[in-house]
A and B are shown apart, each in its own frame.
Chain A
Amino acid sequence: QQQVKQSPQSLIVQKGGISIINCAYENTAFDYFPWYQQFPGKGPALLIAIRPDVSEKKEGRFTISFNKSAKQFSLHIMDSQPGDSATYFCAASSLGAQKLVFGQGTRLTINP
């Protein structure tokens, strides 16, 4: 059962543009929604995370928008840079990091 659906699979953005990646979940018990960034040959690294008591969280150029009623959340990367080129995974879990369920990933390419 696929519990977290992520789109798009791949995304190409020009340098300085806004990158937007979307995720939808099914399990209403989920209460922790992180985004991970993964470079080739590396493990996923936590980028930013949100809990459902807020609708938005911003850290530098990265923002999570959360819509609890729609069961959707998204990652926005402002002023996208070539160094942001990587694969991004959304994830969800209940009771903190106990059992992360990952989306399928989005390969982001920022063209210079």
Chain B
Amino acid sequence: EAGVVQSPRYKIIEKKQPVAFWCNPISGHNTLYWYLQNLGQGPELLIRYENEEAVDDSQLPKDRFSAERLKGVDSTLKIQPAELGDSAVYLCASSFNENTEAFFGQGTRLTVV
């Protein structure tokens, strides 16, 4: 069974440019999470979806970050415009429901220069 798939694996952009990350969760998983992991730190939740509904986006900086999960499967996280401080690893995770374990993808490492 395929795990959580994220792309791209690496992305380098100039500040003020837009960037998007894509996540394909494990088949059948209704809950999808986006986490931010700064270097040397634990992941921090940005947003959680139950199917296509964003049920917890309290930690998402909405002035520049946006996310969507059309049809309740794949998800896209966007930053526009990117800032130097956005350099980090962006992790996607999924679970069967909100009460089962979460499986993480390999992440997208973003470098803003």
Q: How far is the CA of A44 from the CA of B106 in the complex (A)?
A: 8
Query: Which residues does chain B contribute within 8 Å of A45, judged by CB atoms?
Result: 103-104
Question: Chain B interface mostly helix, strand, loop or mixed?
Answer: loop
> How far, in angstroms, from A49 to B102 measured CA to CA in the complex?
11
* Residues A49-78 near B (CB distance < 8 A): 49
Query: B100 to A96, Cβ gap below 8 A?
Result: yes
B101→A34 contact, CB < 8 A: yes
Q: How many residues of A contact B (CB 8 A)?
A: 23
Inside 8 A of B105's CB, which chain A residues have their CB? 43
Establish whether residues A46 and B43, one from each chain, have CB atoms under 8 Å apart when the complex forms: no
Q: Which residues of B contact A98 (CB under 8 A)?
A: 48, 56, 98-99
Q: Is the CB of B106 within 8 A of A49?
A: no
Least Cβ–Cβ distance between A10 and chain B, in angstroms: 10
Query: Are A100 and B102 in contact (CB-based, < 8 A)?
Result: yes
Q: Does A95 lie within 8 Å of B45, measured CB to CB?
A: no
| Measured CA separation A2–B110 after assembly (Å) | 25
A-B contact pairs, 17 of them (CB 8 A): A6-B42, A34-B101, A41-B106, A42-B106, A42-B107, A43-B4, A43-B105, A46-B102, A46-B103, A49-B101, A89-B42, A95-B99, A96-B99, A98-B99, A99-B45, A100-B102, A102-B43
B residues bordering A, Cβ < 8 Å?
4, 31, 40-45, 48, 56, 91, 93, 95, 97-107
